[in-house]
Amino acid sequence: MRRKLAAGNWKMNGTGAALAEVQALARAHPSPNCDILICPPAPLLHRAAQTVAGTAIAIGAQDCHAEPSGAHTGDTSAEMIMDAGAQHVILGHSERRADHHETSEMVRAKARAAMQAGLSAIVCLGETLAQREAANTLDIIGGQLSESVPDLATGENLVIAYEPVWAIGTGRVPSPEQIGEVHGFLRARLEARFGAGVGRSVRLLYGGSVKGDNAAEIFAVPNVDGALVGGASLTAADFSPIVAALDDSA
């Protein structure tokens, strides 16, 4: 059985004071039936890891470099993320693909580095509105999956997050049928590439305008093993109902 995962991506938001929200979330869910993950900005990783020590919440980063060390000013290696106390890292988010011109090949190299360092890589995939309207969604998603995921992936070191670009922060959410089509496609592709054992053990998250009032409907879709949540993960009040909905579906 795949254990459900509620992951929060804080993006470039939060200072030390925001860690009070993580404490509140931990108090609200002392023994959840699902995994809870918060991915704060890099300067908060170590303090966040200390904050969640002894709780049910894990910490992740939002990016890593493909190399373990070197002359890469401003970057952070997977080993540094592990040393800070995190266990996961988000890679290939559409904002990084767009803002930093990251290709799927670059994401694959980062995912390989993360896995080799002992991190779980949350690899993001998603189509634009133009690609969706041109009926190219599965071609785009399939290409990103093939090119972004390294061969050493397992159910323990890989999570896939389907985040349609047109739904991130817009309030627009695909229909359950659209989400189910993509997640079913991803499951079949993973099984075909890695075999049934690994293919069925990789968790598939949905991300894009997930809120407390639509979470239960999304989590009822087959092959949706949780969510990667942006803005609604910044406060315990907003994220807790999503976690509760996932708990109920577990």
Q: What is the CA 9 to chain-centroid distance, rounded?
A: 8
pTM value surpassing 0.85: yes
Helix (H) or strand (E) holding 37: strand 35-39
Sole residue written with tokens 């189509």? 127
- Residue 171, pLDDT > 90, answer no
Predicted local confidence at residue 170, as pLDDT: 87
Q: Which of 93, 95, 102, 127 is catalytic?
A: 93
Map out the domains of the chain as residue ranges: 13-249
Distance from first CA to last CA of the chain, Å, rounded? 10
Q: What is the dihedral of CA 18, 119, 227, 17, to 10 degrees?
A: 0
- Band the pLDDT of 249: cuts 50, 70, 90: very high
Angle between helices 19-28 and 45-52 (to 10 degrees): 30
Q: Give the C-alpha separation, 12 to 199, whole Å.
A: 32
- Residue 208, pLDDT > 90, answer yes
Mean pLDDT of the region 166-193 = 95
Whether 163 is catalytic: yes
Angle between helices 176-194 and 137-148 (to 10 degrees): 40
Q: What is the DSSP letter of 65?
A: B
The pLDDT tens digits for 57-98 are: 999 999 999 999 999 999 999 999 999 999 999 999 999 999
Q: Give the C-alpha separation, 243 to 33, whole Å.
A: 9
- Residue 169, pLDDT > 90, answer no
CA-nearest of 92, 61, 225 to 155 is 225
- Band the pLDDT of 100: cuts 50, 70, 90: very high
Q: Give the C-alpha separation, 51 to 42, whole Å.
A: 15
Architecture (CATH level 2) of domain 13-249: Alpha-Beta Barrel (3.20)
Q: Give the C-alpha separation, 87 to 63, whole Å.
A: 12
Predicted local confidence at residue 160, as pLDDT: 98
The pLDDT tens digits for 106-138 are: 999 999 999 999 999 999 999 999 999 999 999
CA-nearest of 152, 89, 73, 78 to 113 is 78
- Residue 164, pLDDT > 90, answer yes
Residue 223: CB atoms within 10 Å: 19
